[in-house]
């Protein structure tokens, strides 16, 4: 189905981003990401300025526009297109319904690495779950999934909830995955606990005291940084 707004955004995006390519910087950016993805090479500040230029004068998107654009960005080769998609979703987190979580899942498990997964987890999936509380059961399922990036997303999705954090879920996910063999999950546990410690340090201290024997040293070290 043709979506004129989505088609216009993608056409403008490719034209604008391609013209700003910086090959020398692209080599360094790719190396930083362990050469998993090619890059166009411009800075984050430049990327966001270009993104604003791409969207100038265009109307707000519908849910279908969002889906078409972000999936289109994921099909493009260079990593900056995926960054645009993450930023755009964050800006329009109030637009999609609960069913959009399936699209977010596709983005998380495709071209997966911490740079896009963390942006989606903390700035989009978290907002989607806040607006559609029924999705909490989906987070429970993701926290048990075999895909480490879905596990990481479940652990991190409440990162910015503060006093609205479902502490039972946060601690439950951390305990459930305490023995996970992957660095990115162990790191996420520590990060989520450290962040929640800004809100309730005593709760995190107590949790660490009770679970220190099952948590990895990395998770404990990260969680304890500011306690």
- Domain layout of the chain by residue ranges: 1-96, 99-227
* pLDDT, average across residues 150-154: 98
Q: Give the CA angle between residues 85, 139, 76 to the nearest 5°.
A: 20
Q: What are the pLDDT digits (tens) for 11-21?
A: 999 999 999 99
Q: How far apart are CA 67 and CA 55, in angstroms?
A: 16
Of the pLDDT bands very low, low, confident and very high (cuts 50, 70, 90), residue 212 is: very high
Overall fold of domain 99-227: 1.25.10
Per-residue pLDDT, 1 = 52
Per-residue pLDDT, 144 = 98
Cα distances (Å, whole numbers) of residue 77 to 34, 36, 64, 83, 200:
16, 11, 22, 12, 42
Per-residue pLDDT, 2 = 56
| Tokens describing residue 44 | 């984050």
Cα distances (Å, whole numbers) of residue 199 to 123, 202, 217:
18, 9, 23
Count CB neighbours of 105 within 10 A.
19
Residue that is written with structure tokens 């596709």 in the block: 106
Q: How far apart are CA 179 and CA 133, in angstroms?
A: 28
**Residues near 74 by Cβ (< 8 Å), separated by ≥ 6?**
81, 82, 85, 106, 107, 110, 111
Q: How far apart are CA 52 and CA 197, in angstroms?
A: 35
Q: How far apart are CA 24 and CA 205, in angstroms?
A: 46
Count CB neighbours of 76 within 10 A.
16
The CATH label, of 3.10.20.30, 3.30.360.10, 1.25.10.90, 3.60.10.10, for the domain at 1-96 is 1.25.10.90
Burial class (CB in 10 A: 0-12, 13-18, 19+), 218: middle
Count CB neighbours of 206 within 10 A.
12
Q: How far apart are CA 14 and CA 98, in angstroms?
A: 29
Of the pLDDT bands very low, low, confident and very high (cuts 50, 70, 90), residue 108 is: very high
Q: Look at 1-5, 56-60, 70-74, 128-132 and tell me which has the smallest mean pLDDT.
A: 1-5
Of the pLDDT bands very low, low, confident and very high (cuts 50, 70, 90), residue 3 is: confident
The pTM of this model reads 0.96
């Amino acid at each position: 189905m043709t979506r004129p707004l989505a088609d216009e955004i993608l056409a403008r995006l490719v034209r604008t981003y391609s013209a700003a390519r910086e090959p020398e910087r692209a080599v360094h950016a790719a190396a930083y990401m362990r050469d998993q993805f090619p890059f166009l090479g411009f800075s984050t500040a430049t990327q966001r300025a270009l993104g604003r230029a791409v969207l100038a004068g265009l109307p707000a998107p519908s849910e279908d526009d969002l889906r078409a654009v972000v999936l289109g960005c994921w099909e493009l080769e260079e990593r900056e297109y995926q960054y645009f998609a993450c930023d755009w979703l964050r800006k329009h987190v109030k637009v999609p319904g609960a069913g959009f979580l399936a699209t977010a899942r596709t983005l998380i498990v495709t071209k997966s690495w911490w740079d896009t997964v963390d942006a989606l987890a903390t700035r989009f999936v978290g907002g989607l779950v806040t607006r559609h509380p029924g999705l909490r059961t989906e987070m429970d399922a993701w926290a048990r999934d075999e895909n480490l990036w879905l596990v990481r997303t479940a652990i991190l999705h409440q990162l910015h909830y503060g006093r609205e954090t479902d502490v039972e879920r946060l601690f439950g996910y951390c305990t459930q995955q305490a023995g996970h063999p992957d660095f990115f999950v162990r790191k996420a546990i520590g990060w989520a606990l450290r962040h929640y410690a800004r809100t309730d340090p005593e709760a995190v201290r107590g949790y660490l005291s009770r679970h220190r024997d099952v948590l990895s040293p990395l998770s404990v070290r990260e969680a304890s940084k500011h306690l």
